[in-house]
Amino acid sequence: MDDADRQLLRRCRVQLVSELQVASLWDSLLNRELFTPRMIEDIQRAGSGSRHDQARQLIIDLETRGSRALPLFISCLEDTGQNSLASLLRTRSQAAQRDPEAVRPRDLMPVVVGPMGLKPEEPRTVKWDPGKLTPVVLGPEELCPATLHPEVLRPEVPRPGDIGSGSIRDVRAQETLRSNADLAYVMNADPCGYCLIINNVSFCPKSRLRIRTGSNIDCEKLQRRFRLLHFTVEAKCNLPAKQMVQALLELSRRDHAALDCCVVVILSHGCQASHLQFPGAVYGTDGCPVSIERIVNIFNGTSCPSLGGKPKLFFIQACGGEQKDHGFEVVSTFPEDRTPGSNPESDAAPFQDDPGHCDQPDAVSSLPTPSDIFVSYSTFPGFVSWRDPKRGSWYIETLDGIFEQWAHSEDLQSLLLRVANAVSEKGIYKQIPGCFNFLRKKLFFKT
DSSP 3-state percent helix, strand, coil across the chain (nearest 5): 35, 15, 50
Q: What would you report as the CA-atom Rg of the chain, rounded to the nearest whole angstrom?
A: 24
- Measured between alpha carbons, how far is 75 from 230 in angstroms, rounded to an integer? 36
**326 assigned to active site:** no
Report helix, strand or coil for 400.
helix
Distance of alpha carbon 100 from its chain centroid, rounded? 26
Candidate list 269, 271, 288, 435, residue with the active-site label: 269
- The identity of residue 354, as a single letter, is D
For residue 385, with 0-12 CB atoms within 10 Å meaning exposed, 13-18 middle and 19 or more buried, which class applies? Answer: buried
Q: Are 391 and 288 in contact (CB under 8 A)?
A: no
Residues near 404 by Cβ (< 8 Å), separated by ≥ 6?
A: 225
Q: Regarding beta strands 281-283 and 289-291, do their DSSP bridges make them parallel or antiparallel, or are they unpaired?
A: antiparallel
Q: Are 382 and 323 in contact (CB under 8 A)?
A: yes
Q: How many residues does the chain have?
A: 447
Strand runs labelled E in 307-433 = 312-317, 345-346, 373-377, 386-388, 392-393
Residues near 303 by Cβ (< 8 Å), separated by ≥ 6?
A: 249, 252, 253, 297
**269 assigned to active site:** yes
Strand runs labelled E in 67-147 = 125-129, 134-138
For residue 179, with 0-12 CB atoms within 10 Å meaning exposed, 13-18 middle and 19 or more buried, which class applies? Answer: exposed
Q: Are 206 and 287 in contact (CB under 8 A)?
A: yes
- Measured between alpha carbons, how far is 320 from 358 in angstroms, rounded to an integer? 19
> Which positions are annotated as active-site residues?
269, 319
